[in-house]
Amino acid sequence: MAEDSRRGEEDERGPGAPHRVFVLMEALLEKLKVLDYEEELLSKHNMKTLSRHYFVSSRYLASNPGEQFYMFTIMAAWLINACGRSFAIPQEDDEPIAIVSNILAELRSFELKVDFPPSKLKSGSGEHVCFVLDRLADEALRRRGFSFKRPIYPTEIGEEESMMEDDTELTFNKVEEMMEEPDEDEVNLVDLEALTLQSSRTEAAAALAKPDNILQSTVDAAEWNLEVERVLPLLKVTIRTDNKDWRIHVDQMHQHQDGIQSSLQEAKCYLDKVQVDISKTLEKVSSREKYINKQLEDVISEYRDAQAKLSEVRERYQLASGGVAQRTRVLAEMSEELEKVKQEMEERGSSMSDGAAVVKIKQSLSKLKQEIVRMDVRVGVVEHMLLQAKLKEKSNMNMDMHTANMAATAAFI
């Protein structure tokens, strides 16, 4: 029966219900780290740091479950104090039911819904223990004004983009800078031009001086060809296109537009055929659907009635199960109170049947008699001292009177 009830509860909550407690425990551990529980709680009680699945089940703890329950109680008390309520730290010899009842009472004072009996927390582990600690941690974080936010991830620049920006191609500005800074070959070229200009000037002067002679070049043709072959590669300037130039983007846009138009003409025919086929298929599907709806109208109406009845039955079941849960909780509380009363009656009965009280009474009576005798002796001593004092005072008075009478007689004589 217990296995069937467990399976029914698992079917209602879903197949992932047994694993939710692990997620809840991990979230609780993160909240406790935010609250700095290691410095404020564990260091004071000289205890180790909690594992990821500490309160999930007792099998994740190597030591006895009593340590687990004690850790749960002191952590709950610390969280309640962090929420602004005064709660005494439980001791190891305190009654477990009383401690758990007080914790649930404090949890209800925060207007949190608790629909399970205190006996669920006696083991010190499980989903209910994680639920109580998680709600108390949320309340403590809300008390401190802390709230979790979405993470902000930094934007990183890819290596390819950085390499593209570093290894940019040659632009017009760089070409101008390179042209402004001549190298050795360009200097040699300038010197050659100066020499040719000078030679031409000398030839012109010679021609003016001797206009009748035939003008001939004095430069060797082979040397001139060699110099031209050497300088010719340096005269070629290759200008690479800049990808950031808007003219290139415009040309690319025109190329893409032409490609799209040419592809659209080809794809339009296929799309028209597909549209015709889809329209025919939709017409067939709609006609089949109408035919099926006409054939299954009675079955659909019966199905709707069954669904309505099922919803009504589920509502009744939920109401009944809610009442049963409340009554079981009340029964558990009353049974716990009955156990307390039974324990008190057993203690009183054992104390009444035991003869230790009579022995204690006799011992106390003997002590009282001894004290009475001592008090009588002290009273007698005090009375004797008082009598001696009175007698001494009386004798002193008589002596004073006698001396006074003697003095009066002597004065009269």
Question: Which of 161-165, 184-188, 191-195 tops mean pLDDT?
Answer: 191-195
pLDDT of residue 185: 46
The pLDDT tens digits for 82-109 are 888 888 787 777 778 888 888 888 878 8
Token pair of 174 as six digits = 């760089």
Token pair of 210 as six digits = 């001797």
Token pair of 9 as six digits = 């509860």
Name which of 199-208, 257-266, 333-342, 372-381 the model is least confident about.
199-208
Report the candidate in 50, 117, 113 with the shortest Cα–Cα distance to residue 78.
Answer: 50
Strands (E), 181-221: none
Question: Is 275 strand, coil or helix?
Answer: helix
Token pair of 34 as six digits = 């935010």
**Helix axis angle, 2-13 to 17-34, nearest 10°:** 70
CB hemisphere CA count around 298 (13 angstroms): 1
DSSP string, 31-60: HHHHTTHIIIIIHHHT-PPP-TTTTT-GGG
Q: 337 falls in which pLDDT band (50, 70, 90)? A: very high
What is the Cα–Cα distance from 53 to 25, expressed in whole angstroms? 6
CB 109 within 8 A of CB 85: yes
Collect all residues with Cβ–Cβ distance below 8 Å to 18 and sequence separation of at least 6.
10
Name which of 49-58, 186-195, 251-260, 363-372 the model is least confident about.
186-195
- Angle (CA) 287-291-292 rounded to 5° is 115
The pLDDT tens digits for 73-87 are 888 888 888 888 888
Question: Is 36 strand, coil or helix?
Answer: coil
DSSP string, 150-172: ---PPP---HHHHHHHHTPPP-H
Q: What is the residue whose two structure tokens read 């104090």?
A: 81
Residue 300 identity:
I
Q: CB count, 10 Å around CB of 196?
A: 14
Give alpha helix (H) positions in 210-296.
221-231, 246-295
DSSP 219: S
What is the Cα–Cα distance from 37 to 50, expressed in whole angstroms? 10
What is the Cα–Cα distance from 281 to 283, expressed in whole angstroms? 5
CB 77 within 8 A of CB 90: yes
What is the Cα–Cα distance from 390 to 392, expressed in whole angstroms? 5
CB 133 within 8 A of CB 72: yes
Q: CB count, 10 Å around CB of 42?
A: 18
Token pair of 202 as six digits = 């000398």
Please check the confidence at residue 13 and state whether its pLDDT lies above 70.
Answer: no
Mean pLDDT for the chain overall: 76
The pLDDT tens digits for 191-224 are 555 555 555 555 545 544 554 555 566 778 888 8
Q: 175 falls in which pLDDT band (50, 70, 90)? A: very low
Instruction: Give first-to-last CA distance, the chain, whole Å.
Output: 129
pLDDT of residue 168: 42
Q: 339 falls in which pLDDT band (50, 70, 90)? A: very high
Report the candidate in 144, 136, 175 with the shortest Cα–Cα distance to residue 28.
Answer: 136
Collect all residues with Cβ–Cβ distance below 8 Å to 116 and sequence separation of at least 6.
128, 329
pLDDT of residue 359: 81
Query: pTM surpassing 0.85?
Result: no
Token pair of 14 as six digits = 């879903």
pLDDT of residue 164: 45
